Amino acid sequence: MQLNDIADKAGSRKARKRVGRGIGSGTGKTSGKGHKGAKSRSGVAIKGFEGGQMPIYRRLPKRGFNNIFSKQYQAVNIGRLQQAIDAGRLDAGKPVDTAALLAAGVIRRPLDGVRLLGKGELKAGLTIEVAGASAAAVAAVEKAGGKVTQTVVRDVAATAAKAEKRRARGKGKSAAADA
């Protein structure tokens, strides 16, 4: 056997279709795209068109809305804080706030504030100042001998009272369920 005897298996490499190469080729002139219209042009796909059938985005009902006042918080787990302390990037003696987290490389951008979550284990007693924190995170920090200060305090009782009022007026999700 010699190098010039080596070849691919028959049919393993298919030559590309060369369009627009004369009428004898079968794909000459209009290159197999027919005459005129959007589909004959390059780079055009009629998105959402289902051949005249009512498209799915019109068959399904509208639902929900985009809250223009919604806040987007940067989530930080307590295990991530412990990693930064172990690596020497966060000082356990100083208060931990958004600026400290940015400087330590724990977060890249603060968004609308930092929210502390309870995944992982925290050994150091930290004084943490964040926009929000989960109950599990607060419990874990306090167990380690630290303290959490939240700048955005959610009034759960007030929210529940508002929802109850709405229900009483016959609006809201559970109004239909109550009736």
User: Which H or E element spans position 98?
Assistant: helix 98-104
Residue 151: count of CB within 10 angstroms of its CB: 12
| Residue-level pLDDT at 109 | 93
157 domain-assigned: no
4 domain-assigned: no
1 domain-assigned: no
| Residue-level pLDDT at 139 | 93
- The set of residues, in sequence order, having a beta carbon less than 8 Å from that of 28 and lying 6+ positions away, is 19, 20, 21, 22
| Residue-level pLDDT at 158 | 76
2 domain-assigned: no
- The set of residues, in sequence order, having a beta carbon less than 8 Å from that of 124 and lying 6+ positions away, is 82, 85, 92, 144, 146
Positive or negative, the Cα torsion across 69, 75, 81, 82?
positive
What's the mean per-residue pLDDT of the chain? 88
**Can you tell me the mean pLDDT for 10-17?**
92
Cβ–Cβ < 8 Å for 80, 104:
no
pLDDT of 43 strictly over 80? no
Question: Token digits for 177?
Answer: 């369920």
User: Which H or E element spans position 149?
Assistant: strand 147-150
pTM, two decimals, is 0.56
87 domain-assigned: yes
Q: Across-strand partners of 132?
A: 115
User: Which H or E element spans position 75?
Assistant: strand 74-77
Q: In whole angstroms, give the CA distance from residue 18 to residue 163.
A: 67
| Residue-level pLDDT at 176 | 53
The total domain count for the chain is: 1
90 domain-assigned: yes
- The 10s digit of each residue's pLDDT in 59-85 is 999 999 999 999 999 999 999 999 999
> Which domain, by its residues, includes 123?
80-150
Question: Token digits for 31?
Answer: 């290159």
17 domain-assigned: no
Give me the CATH number covering residue 108.
Answer: 3.100.10.10
Q: In whole angstroms, give the CA distance from residue 143 to residue 125.
A: 8
